[in-house]
Each structure stands twice: as C-alpha cells, then as structure tokens.
Structure 1
Amino acid sequence: MKITQTKFAELGNQDIYEYTLVNDQGITVSCITYGCIITKVVTPDRHGTYQNVVLGFDNLEDYLNHSPYFGAVVGRVAGRIKGAQFELDGVTYPLVQNNNGNHLHGGTVGFDAVVWEARMIETENEIGVEFFYMSPDGEGGYPGNLDMKVTYTLNNHNEFLISYNGVCDQKTLLNVTNHTYFNLSGDTERDILDHKLQLKSEQYLELTDELLPTGEFVNVDGTVFDFREGRAIRDGFISDHPQNLLAGRGYDHPFFLNANQDEEIILWDEKSGRKLTVETDECGVVLYTGNHLEGNFSVRGTKSRNYLGLCLETQGLPDSIHHPHFPSCVLDKNEEYRSVTKYIFATL
C-alpha cells in the first residue's frame, strides 16, 4: 500500500493538497483538503479494467463554481432544516438560508466549503488521511466551537472507511455525512438508471414539496421504495408515485435502516460487474439519484446530466430537530460525536 501527497490548488493564501491512497489490489482513493472532497475512486470491473466510479472535477475552480457537493463532507447538519432555524433549551438559533428559505447541508460555508488541516496515516494494515477543522461558534448560525475530525482509511480488503468525530464546547446540533456520487459503470460510460440497489429498510420518510420530512414513516410494501430484494433505480424514474414525481422523477428520500454493519446497503452494476457494499452505524441513508444534475458544466469530459451519479448519504434523519420522534441530532456540551461508514468494493 502507498499514499502520496501533491499540491492540488491554491485558495487565497492557502494551499489545497490532494492525497492518493492505493492498496495492493490497485484500488485507488483520492481526496483533497478542500471540503474533504473525495475526487476519485478507481476500481476494477469484472474483466480487471480499472476506472473511476465517482463524480468529480480535475480542478478547484469547478468545485467552487459548479459542484453539487461532489464527494464532500457536509455539515454541521446534513440535509434540510425547516425554516432555517431551530430551538434549543428555549433559545432560537437562526441559520443561513440557502434553500428556498430553508437551511441545507450546513449553509453557504459548511464543512464542504472550508479548507481542512490534514495528516497522513500509514500502518501495517491501512493507509489514510486524518482531516481536522474547528468550526467557530456561530458558523452557519450554530452554537459552540466544534472540533471536527474526519478520517479516511483504505486497507487491503478493499474496504474504505470514513470515521467522523466531533466535540463542541456548547450544546449544539451535529449530523454529518459524505456526499459522494457513485457511477459504477466507470468513467461515466452510462447513467445510473440501470444500477440496482438493495436496502435493508422497511420504511422511508415521506417528503413535502420542499423535500422536507413530513414526519411520517411510510411502509415500503408494494411500492417502488421497496429495495429489500433489490430493484433497478430506473423503477423510480418511470414511476408515477407522487413521492417520485416531487423529487424530480427519482429518489431524494431518507430510508430508515433496520440493520447496521450487516451488508445493509448494496449497489451494483450488472454490465460492468462492479459492486459496492455500504455498512454504517447510522440509523438512515438518503438515496439521491441525481435527478437535478443537469447543468452547464462537464464532469471530466462528460456533460453533466440528470442521473449521472447517485448518492448514498448515511446519516441521522434530516430535520430531526423538528420531529421529536426521530432519533436526535442534539450533541451535548463536551459529548463526543462518533460515526463510521464502510465502503467495500468488489465484483459480481
């Protein structure tokens, strides 16, 4: 295994570095200190052809101007917070409005839009990068000085792990995820509509037309939201289910997981033979199928279009601060936030 560090870009007076992790099987993960963005993941298909299976850019300017959170760590709170405000112990905290009057993914200067400190890790069994960032009191509107650490590691079992750790000097909210867009066809040869997904989930969250949870858990039985036996993403695209239509013909929904660290999320592409298994200790995963990716920019030579990639955002349930029956994202003063998600790359 090996890890290398190169200069990726400059932002103001700060250097942005890219780290590339390569294991003994040739699996490669590249990431940068801006937003902890995962820029590339290179894996083999069933014939041994290595290609990039995530969406990203080759330069910082495109990340600054065009990126729909490609590969980034998002927070302090992933997803939308209704009305861009919340109440904690009788105090109302107004947040940055960046999504139709709501607050999305930590606001305009969330974890995805700052430069992190980094340190390389090399042990006998894994290689990786530790990222560090101190989010000051009031950033985005959130209370407390928050010390965050995000750790990316790769091992020779073709496992890539993301670990999140955070401690704050005030009671606050914290719910972090990674926003990588996967396309297992390799180098965006095809869109993701014919990818198949299996989820150990019996319920999803109903959304309003603002893509905020209504608070209702809906049983997946008999719907295109039932991924328990595996189904094509295309089913949501062709569906006339009102929830698929309001998401822009597809999915942008939180699923409540009824298993953890037990192959609860499996994505595969039959044509290439690539398979991704995701295991997490989080209670949910947001499936976003790239329904709004069309734009006037290119992704490494491919004009961006809808369904070019999909996200599997392992996290607590969105807007939980306004739904007391959801698992809480409140972090007490000096309590440690911890979360781990593992990505296992294989072939069929």
Structure 2
Amino acid sequence: MTKIKQQSFSKLSSGEEIQLFCLDNGETQVEIINLGAAIVSITTPDKNGNSDDICLGLSSADAYYNQTAYLGVVAGRYANRIAKGKFSINNNEYQLNCNNGENHLHGGNIGFSKRVWNYKIINDETNPKLRLSLTSPNLEEGFPGTVNAAVEYSLDENNRLTIHYQGTTDQDTVLNLTNHTYFNLAGHNKGTILEHRLFVNGDFFARVNEQAIPTGELVPVKDTPFDFTATEPMHLIGERINADNQDLHNCGGYDHSYALNGKGKQLIQAATLYHEATGRVLNVYTNKPAMQLYTGNALDGTHIGKQGCIYNQNAGVCLETQFMPDSPNQPQFPCCVLKANDVYDYTTVFEFTTKD
C-alpha cells in the first residue's frame, strides 16, 4: 500500500514555506512539492534491483521559482507556445504576457509553475492521493475567465504514477496543463539521454518555424528523423538528432508535438522510453491528443540540480502530454477551448518497469 508523507521542503525568499510530499509504495518513491506542483524526484529500481533517482530536479524552493527550464513543474494555464501571445474567443481578442521572445510560453511571466498550490492528502485505503489546487483569476497573464484547477497525484502498487488534471471556468477560455518532468532512466546525474530508446505512438508531427511556433502543417513521420514508431528495436534518441533536417535545426534538437494515434478520451499508450544498460522502462499513457517530445536542448549547465549536479544539454527528456502548441490559433488542431461550466478532465500515467 502506498503511503504519503509530508515535510518541509524549504522557504521561498518571501518567507513562504514550501511543502514536500513523498508517495512511497515500498519500491518506488515520488517526491512532489506544492510550488508549481513540481515532481522533485522519482526513485525506482533497475533490472538488478538498484534504485536511482531518474528525474532532474532542484534543491530549494527559490531554485524552482527562479528556474527557466521548468524542471518537473505543471505548466499552465497554457503549456507550450502561443504565437505572439494572441488568440480570440467568441470574437474577443486577448493579449497574453509574452515571455519567450514575441511569444507566450508555459503560462507567461508567473504561470502555474511559480504559483504555490493548495494541498490536501486524500486518504484512501488502497491508493491515497495528493491533491494540489489553485484559482487563477480572470485576466491573470491575460487569459479570460476565472479558472479553478487541480492536479491529483497517486502511485499504485504496480509503480504507476497517475496524474489527473481537472479544471473549471466561469467563462470560455483556453486551458492546457502538462507535467514538465525531465527523465533520465540511467539516473538524473548520469549523463545524457541520447542512448535511450524511444517509441512514440504518433504518425504525424507539427512542423515549426524558427521560433518553434507550428506552421499549421502536420507532417508524416515516415522517412524522417521524427519517426519513433518502430518497436523492435526502438530508435535511439541520439541516432538522428543531428540529422540535416530543418525542423531539427529550428529547435536545436527535438522540441516537437506529435499527434497521438488515439480516439476520443480513452487512455492510450503514447510513448515508451527504454534504457538498455539499466533495463528501466517508462511507459506513458494518456487521453490527451498530443505529446511534446523535448530533449533538453536549452539545458546549458546553468541549472545546478540536486546534490550539486550540473545539467547540460540533453541531460533529460520530456514527454509532455498536452494539446498542441498554438492550438488557439490553429483550427485544424484539436480544440483546447474550455467552455464555461464544462470540466477539463484528463489523465496521464507514467508506468515504471524493467526488462532484462
């Protein structure tokens, strides 16, 4: 049975104390803080039973607040980019804060990743949950409507970490929540993820321009460096990351959204990440319509992680289940509008296992 323990993490320079929660099923431990609803660590065994922390993370609340890499956080209101920070709903145009050049990224200047979330431990005899919630007022960062958002984390006996996203609004708005954990199945301090193998259950990816904004074109992955549909063997992440390909050049590696091969709101397998040396496997399931593959291209050694670890380029890989970037301005993409009195209700599952 999973247990949830709570203790102080550290204080922000403002004096506010941030809490650390540990979900422990006896084999895997997941640590989460209520600043940015961030996953701080994931400790799980390899094929020989040796445990390592496989999640890039930071050591203090101020480090999480001041970071620019979004390590482990829940990004929102709108994860990913919105071109020029503009979109229209019901013939009303809204201007968001632009924090990524002339574009809006991951919620803006503050966003959900810098907010201190309310917390509640929901005691369940079989699978307790950590519920983190916040209210985002009308026009925060420029978004319309007052949004009440919540994220529930739970860890079951089969090493499945479930993230349940919920939200409501009092007027039509856009909402796109994702978790921005960087995974390295060798261990958070064990080099790059270029030798990890990857499967992505998506036959099309969104072409982007030099600012990583989608052009609107969904491109077949077949015969491109973006094809991770092979399963035996799966392609290495580093196998084609330096290929002479304009989409890769535009982002300095993989930072692209895949249209997942799912229908409706049923959970599907979105991706599998595999590290042969340790035998660790991460399976990702979701009912979101897309997944952003990001290979930590902008990590440059300026983020000092846990135990003083320096995170350089490609130190981790993000598998961000979400709506596609710039969806508010791309009518051909799945609709990200949350209507007043409707419920935003999506789930992502990270399943940790091993194989010989």
TM over 0.5: yes
1:317-336 pair list within 5 angstroms: 317-336=324-343
The answer to whether residue 278 in structure 2 is matched with residue 272 in structure 1 is yes
CA contact (8 A) 1:293 1:308 kept: yes
Any unmatched runs of 5+ in structure 2? none
Q: Deviations over 1:146-183 (max 9, x none)?
A: 11111000010111000011001111110110100000
| TM-score normalized by the length of structure 1 | 0.97
Q: Deviations over 1:291-320 (max 9, x none)?
A: 110132322222221000010000011111
The answer to whether residue 170 in structure 2 is matched with residue 169 in structure 1 is yes
Identity of aligned residues (%): 38
2:61 aligns to what? 60
Match of 2:238 among 225, 231, 234: 234
CA contact (8 A) 2:137 2:147 kept: yes
CA contact (8 A) 2:47 2:278 kept: yes
- Residue 330 of structure 2 aligns with an amino acid whose one-letter code is H
TM-aligned CA deviation for residue 83 of structure 1: 0.9
Match of 1:296 among 289, 299, 302: 302
1:256 aligns to what? 259
CA contact (8 A) 1:236 1:251 kept: no
The answer to whether residue 321 in structure 2 is matched with residue 314 in structure 1 is yes
CA contact (8 A) 1:320 1:327 kept: yes
CA contact (8 A) 1:321 1:328 kept: yes
1:64-213 pair list within 5 angstroms: 64-213=65-214
Q: Kindly tell me the number of residue pairs found equivalent between the two proteins.
A: 346
Q: Work out the CA distance in 2 between the residues paired with 1:75 and 1:129.
A: 19
Q: Work out the CA distance in 1 between the residues paired with 2:127 and 2:207.
A: 40
2:84 is paired with a residue whose SS is helix
CA contact (8 A) 1:236 1:244 kept: no
| TM-score normalized by the length of structure 2 | 0.95
Question: Please, which moves more after superposition, 260-269 or 154-163?
Answer: 260-269
Q: Deviations over 1:21-42 (max 9, x none)?
A: 1003x20000001000000000
TM-aligned CA deviation for residue 13 of structure 1: 4.6
Q: Work out the CA distance in 1 between the residues paired with 2:23 and 2:132.
A: 14
Question: Please, which moves more after superposition, 231-240 or 213-222?
Answer: 231-240
Q: Work out the CA distance in 2 between the residues paired with 1:181 and 1:119.
A: 25
Q: Work out the CA distance in 1 between the residues paired with 2:214 and 2:238.
A: 23
CA contact (8 A) 1:33 1:116 kept: yes
1:298 is paired with a residue whose SS is coil
- Residue 149 of structure 2 aligns with an amino acid whose one-letter code is M
Deviation >6 Å, runs of 4+: none
- Residue 15 of structure 1 aligns with an amino acid whose one-letter code is E
Q: Work out the CA distance in 2 between the residues paired with 1:39 and 1:60.
A: 11
TM-aligned CA deviation for residue 67 of structure 1: 4.4
CA contact (8 A) 2:4 2:24 kept: yes
Match of 2:17 among 15, 20, 23: 15
Q: Work out the CA distance in 2 between the residues paired with 1:144 and 1:103.
A: 18
* RMSD over equivalenced CA pairs, Å: 1.2
- Residue 275 of structure 2 aligns with an amino acid whose one-letter code is D
2:269 is paired with a residue whose SS is coil
2:347 aligns to what? 340
TM-aligned CA deviation for residue 200 of structure 1: 1.3
CA contact (8 A) 1:76 1:175 kept: yes
CA contact (8 A) 2:268 2:287 kept: no
1:143 is paired with a residue whose SS is coil
- Residue 58 of structure 1 aligns with an amino acid whose one-letter code is S
CA contact (8 A) 2:11 2:62 kept: no
- Residue 20 of structure 2 aligns with an amino acid whose one-letter code is E
